[in-house]
Structure 1
Amino acid sequence: MTDPKPSVLFVCVHNAGRSQMAAGWLRHLAGDAVEVRSAGSAPADQINPVAVEAMREVGIDITGQTPKILTPEASEASSVVITMGCGDVCPYFPGQRHEDWKLDDPAGQGIDAVRPIRDEIRDRVRALLDDLTAAER
């Protein structure tokens, strides 16, 4: 039996911008090779419309996603947890890979400020995916 595919959980406070863009990039770049989750410690009512617009510009549709509350179960079920400014509220489980990505918060920003955040997330997700797929070889 082969190992189960890696699962990545992206976490930010509102689950409306950074984590949704990261999840969108990973789904787009990895296809079905990686299980993708996102959540927030204090989820917003909806995804940041500027984040949606920024992702749409690169051909990725995240409009079907909704902010979700971070649960210990979602965290525990993930092999990699990427936090983006959620601080100490993010649960940690032994045996998981944890990374904290320092990224500007797109909340309240215009599209010109969100594009570089989107592009930095893309670059980090590509590096993460390369690392995950190299580990499987």
Structure 2
Amino acid sequence: MSPHQEPHATITIDQEAALASGAERLTREFDGTFGRETIDRFLHASYTDLAQRATVPNYLPLLTEKFARQRLRALAKVDGLHVDGKPTVLFLCVHNAGRSQMALGFFQHHAGEHAVGWSGGSEPGHEVSPVAVEVMAERGIDIAGEYPKPWTDEVVRAADVVITMGCGDACPVFPGKRYEEWTLPDPAGWTPEGVRPVRDEIEARVLNLLAELGVPART
């Protein structure tokens, strides 16, 4: 959904109040970059995108603010309003519930503050796979607070590298970007024993990608 469209999701009074608080925080954070009207558009569009598949409505305003912040940062980079020189990598799969979330977890863990990582899905699921959360926790990486979300144009356009994992023709393609397909099985519904080899392969690929980008990997 475009941030210029009106939202269609139902918003309760409490959620509206929480979104208003989020808008205030985003307005302060992006002061001098985006005005309140732009922030409100992105916030409500993000709410609509997430509300379609939310399983815990009470967390929606918090997740919405997080998603809107990501999108606004991406837009600032696309528009040349914020350039920090850090490479940005976007991990995409179908449901944004397993492979792309594990890849993002490893990327953020190993890259630290030296690079920016995002993730998304062509058909986002309702929650991050509990098994993916479990096997990543075994490596000391907590992805329990992540959530499936759709990719958006500004996020793809802001990425320097787009890593796709099985989303095929549904994955977005923009000229001039580096695209790389990681052929990995979809571990949805698998046991931890089955997912661990996929997890380890993802980490190896993430470390190789960081080396190619010249980003020092922390252990």
- With normalisation by structure 2, the TM-score equals 0.59
Pairwise CA distance, 1:3: 6.2
Gap runs ≥5 in structure 2:
1-82
2:182 pairs, out of 101, 117, 128, with 101
What is the SS of the residue equivalent to 2:180? strand
Q: Percent identity?
A: 57
| Higher percent of residues as helix | 2
What is the SS of the residue equivalent to 1:81? strand
Q: How does 1:24-35 map to 2 (within 5 A)?
A: 24-35=105-116
**Equivalence for 2:198:** 117
Number of residue equivalences: 133
What is the SS of the residue equivalent to 2:113? helix
Structure with more contact order per residue of length (Cα contacts < 8 Å, sep ≥ 6): 1
**Equivalence for 1:133:** 214
1:39 pairs, out of 114, 120, 133, with 120
Gap runs ≥5 in structure 1:
none
In 2: Cα distance, 1:79 partner to 1:40 partner = 18
Q: What are the Cα deviations for residues 74-119 of structure 1, in whole angstroms up to 9, with x where unaligned? A: 1111000000000001111122110000001110100000000000
In 1: Cα distance, 2:84 partner to 2:113 partner = 14
**Equivalence for 1:12:** 93
What is the SS of the residue equivalent to 2:110? helix
Where do 4+ consecutive residues of structure 1 move more than 4 Å? none
Pairwise CA distance, 1:48: 0.3
Rg comparison, structure with higher value: 2
Q: How does 1:12-91 map to 2 (within 5 A)?
A: 12-91=93-172
